[in-house]
Amino acid sequence: MTPSNTKTPQSSIKRHHLLVGGASCASCVGKIEKALNGVSGVTDAQMNLPQSMATVYGNVDESDLIDAIKASGYNATSATEKSDEHVINEKDAADHAYYNKLLRDTAIALGLGVPLMVYGLFIGDMSVTTNAERIAWLIVGVATFAIMATSGRHFYVGGFKSLLSHNANMDTLIMLGTGTAWLYSMLVVLLPDALPLMARHVYFEATAMIIGLINLGLALEVRARGRTSDAIKRLIGLQAKTARVIRDGKELDIAIEDVELNDRIRIRPGEKIPVDGQVDEGTTSIDESMLTGEPMPVEKRIGDSVAAGTINKTGSIIFSATRVGKDTALARIIDMVKHAQNSKPPIGRLADVISAYFVPAIMIIAVVSALLWLNFGPEPTVAFALVSATTILIIACPCALGLATPMSVMVGVGKAAEAGVLIRNGEALQTASKITTMVLDKTGTITLGEPKVTDVVVANAQSETQILQLSASLESGSEHPLAMAIVQSATDKGVEADVVSNFNAITGHGIEGDVNGSRVYLGNERLMKAQGVDISGYITHAQDLAAQAKTPMYLAANSELLGIIAVADPIKEDSVSAIKRLQAKGIRIVMLTGDNRATAEAVAKKVGIGEFFAEVLPQDKTAKVIELQQSGEVVGMTGDGINDAPALARADVGFAIGTGTDVAIESADITLMRGSLHGLADAISVSKATLSNVKQNLFGAFVYNAAGVPIAAGILYPFFGILLSPIIAGAAMALSSLTVVSNANRLRWFKPS
């Protein structure tokens, strides 16, 4: 009977961790456990005194558990780790609520601001001359105050609090800008005689409009920002929620958090792999494209590893969990992407330095501008001074500057992750965009790294099978990669090896041994000559094979040539096209290999690389990288991340090329999860696109502020009589940060060339 027939379906049971305070003695343990077990829904509760940690199983609300502990005289807080998905969902809900609130605030503020502005533009004069006007404007002033206290409350509270803590941000600027406009207008209404007749203008509509427009800008920004984290949401969404584990011969559906190491898990066709593991039973093919970008499903047999988040296609398997929770490849990828998304490339640091001085500097500029108008401006100087100061405070946008880099990096790193390219941090992203020379390791990078028998040439043998069988027999004891390739090829074809006696390895020549009563030799030309074997008719054959980057070996028995068997490490199917893509980007490609010159030359020729260095020892790879760097190149190094670690570390950007999902993501600046070199070209394309997006954003934000502030100050007034309205400034400021976020979002549609 298969386990699936005996299965008793159970709903998933949750595990809660609580940190308990105040428990100091063994008797407390019993008391706490009793209290917890008394909560309905709890199936089991255990208190660990040394760790002050209670573990509770059951479908219960954590707050009920905390209440129960508190009721028994102790303190408790939740220590259950929140899943990434939980965090994302809460964040989305909070963002949505905030978005709605901002829209409400916008509607209220514009509800007053728009009619006032229309009145000022088309109907009447916004100045105070008669007593009736004073009363009317007083009512409007009070209404504006109500808007400031409701829709604009967050600006004032935030601005004031930062002011008190010697900090200044956008809120401070908005508070000062709109506050000044409102105070001045109230002064006009309450004490008109304190001001010259011409200056008795009210600016209530500016205050209301600015609050409305900036709230609208913030609302749109919240929406646009949500989209910048789409990539990470997609990765988090790959995680399965439950797993069907087999414990004590029974199948249980349990929450993913509760899967433990070595749990046996059953996966049926179409299901998601919940944790990393190793296949124990069955064969199947698995779609790993969501992690590696590799579109073809991968065959899995007993002993193969499977990765969390990938999707089982055809077969049914049972596998053992080898990595769970935060240790799965997917969890580590998510973690790495999240970190990289929040790291800043060096290019963003200038904006940080400016941001630190920005707001106080703007305040100083506003004061200076007001003083200039008061001293040298036309009448009414007070009104001009007020408008220019308010407009400066409102138009200056530290947010656009501050958002420029992080938003683009967020989208760019996420985009790369979708293509199976993991970028460690902002610095790697920036440097990758500047690479001039790419050093490629041959084995495992350009080639598959798994030698295979490619050709069998029959001379005097009965068949190809005979050649394969004798070769495999001789090589069966060896662990040399070429030998393993031959043995594997024989196994694949169902050819059985014979017993070998009197085996001998002849250094630099090959091997010999007795098989079925014959003395058999397998090796190079020198071995054949030493044994007096006539190979004259086959030397050109062997040379042809060598020229194709293959390693030919002669097989002879009793001084008679049986044939040639050739082994090669095949070039990855798409290496040629990927290298062409890199070269098209103007990148110089250099190949390094520990292999012999003939093979290196043949591979280089085949993939279109002009520059290569053969017989390079690992330490010499590093020296080669340094040499290139000294000649002024920005060097990228691509290797499998294990043998090439020193060179990867030395290069400006080290690319570790992964094979499937089992990647050592700690080892390099950029990890390519799929084996294809196209990942390399993708990585560089994404980096370039992201960097140019950052530059556009920074440039836009700099230009906006550098042009906006002087115009607001009235620099155009002496020449063209133009002085910006504070309302226009409010709209411009709301638009500027939205533009930055939207431009960053443009990267989402980026397709690598």
Partner 1 sequence: MLIVNLAGALLIVLIVWWFWLYKPKAVEQSEAGFSVVVENGNYSPSRIKLKTGEQHALKFLRKDASPCAEMLLIPQFDIAETLIVNQTTTIRLPEMSAGEYEFHCQMKMYKGVLVVE
Q: Give the catalytic positions in this structure.
A: 441
For residue 128, state whether it binds partner 1 (rule: CB under 8 A). Answer: no
For residue 202, state whether it binds partner 1 (rule: CB under 8 A). Answer: no
Helical packing angle, 84-118 and 204-228, nearest 10°: 150
Phi and psi, residue 404, nearest 5°: -50, -55
For residue 334, state whether it binds partner 1 (rule: CB under 8 A). Answer: no
Among 362-370, 431-439, 549-557, 559-567, the segment contacting partner 1 (CB under 8 A):
362-370
For residue 157, state whether it binds partner 1 (rule: CB under 8 A). Answer: yes
For residue 149, state whether it binds partner 1 (rule: CB under 8 A). Answer: no
The number of helices, as runs of H, and strands, as runs of E, in the chain is 26, 26
For residue 359, state whether it binds partner 1 (rule: CB under 8 A). Answer: yes
Contact criterion met (CB below 8 Å) for 707 and 395: no
For residue 24, state whether it binds partner 1 (rule: CB under 8 A). Answer: no
From candidates 135, 364, 499, 584, binder to partner 1 by CB under 8 A: 364
From candidates 221, 304, 427, 633, binder to partner 1 by CB under 8 A: 221
For residue 370, state whether it binds partner 1 (rule: CB under 8 A). Answer: yes
Q: Which two tokens stand for residue 590?
A: 């250099």
From candidates 34, 161, 526, 529, binder to partner 1 by CB under 8 A: 161
How do 42-48 and 53-58 pair as beta strands? Answer: antiparallel
- Listed in order, strand segments (DSSP E) in 344-451 are 421-423, 437-441
Amino acid letter at 259? V
For residue 242, state whether it binds partner 1 (rule: CB under 8 A). Answer: no
In the complex with partner 1, which residue's Cβ is closer, 307 or 334? 334
In the complex with partner 1, which residue's Cβ is closer, 94 or 722? 94
Q: In what order do the strands lie in the sheet with 264-267?
A: 250-255, 242-247, 264-267, 317-323, 276-281, 305-306
Contact criterion met (CB below 8 Å) for 440 and 590: yes
- Listed in order, strand segments (DSSP E) in 357-451 are 421-423, 437-441
- CA dist 587 and 433 (Å) reads 11
- CA dist 533 and 512 (Å) reads 14
For residue 398, state whether it binds partner 1 (rule: CB under 8 A). Answer: yes
CB of residue 236 to partner 1, shortest distance in Å: 11
For residue 171, state whether it binds partner 1 (rule: CB under 8 A). Answer: yes
For residue 481, state whether it binds partner 1 (rule: CB under 8 A). Answer: no
Contact criterion met (CB below 8 Å) for 468 and 553: no
CB of residue 336 to partner 1, shortest distance in Å: 11
Under DSSP, the state recorded for 260 is -
Amino acid letter at 173? L
Phi and psi, residue 18, nearest 5°: -130, 135
Largest CA distance in the chain: 126
Binding residues for partner 1, rule CB under 8 A, total 50
For residue 154, state whether it binds partner 1 (rule: CB under 8 A). Answer: yes
Q: Which two tokens stand for residue 149?
A: 């206290």
In the complex with partner 1, which residue's Cβ is closer, 155 or 612? 155
For residue 357, state whether it binds partner 1 (rule: CB under 8 A). Answer: yes
Distance of CA 221 to the CA centre of its chain: 21
From candidates 344, 621, 650, 678, binder to partner 1 by CB under 8 A: 344
In the complex with partner 1, which residue's Cβ is closer, 101 or 748? 101
How do 510-515 and 317-323 pair as beta strands? Answer: unpaired
For residue 403, state whether it binds partner 1 (rule: CB under 8 A). Answer: yes
Among 168-176, 292-300, 563-571, 670-678, the segment contacting partner 1 (CB under 8 A):
168-176
H helices of 422-574, in order, are: 426-432, 464-475, 481-492, 525-530, 539-547
Among 358-366, 566-574, 624-632, 708-716, the segment contacting partner 1 (CB under 8 A):
358-366
For residue 421, state whether it binds partner 1 (rule: CB under 8 A). Answer: no
Under DSSP, the state recorded for 409 is H
From candidates 12, 46, 72, 162, binder to partner 1 by CB under 8 A: 162
For residue 699, state whether it binds partner 1 (rule: CB under 8 A). Answer: no
Binding to partner 1 (CB under 8 A) within 90-119 occurs at 90-91, 94-95, 97-98, 101
Closest CA to 267 of 236, 311, 237: 311
Closest CA to 566 of 595, 590, 596, 546: 546
Q: What are the residues binding partner 1 (CB under 8 A)? A: 87, 90-91, 94-95, 97-98, 101, 154, 157-159, 161-162, 165-171, 218, 221-222, 225, 338-339, 341-344, 352, 355-357, 359-360, 363-364, 367-368, 370-371, 374-375, 398-399, 402-403, 406
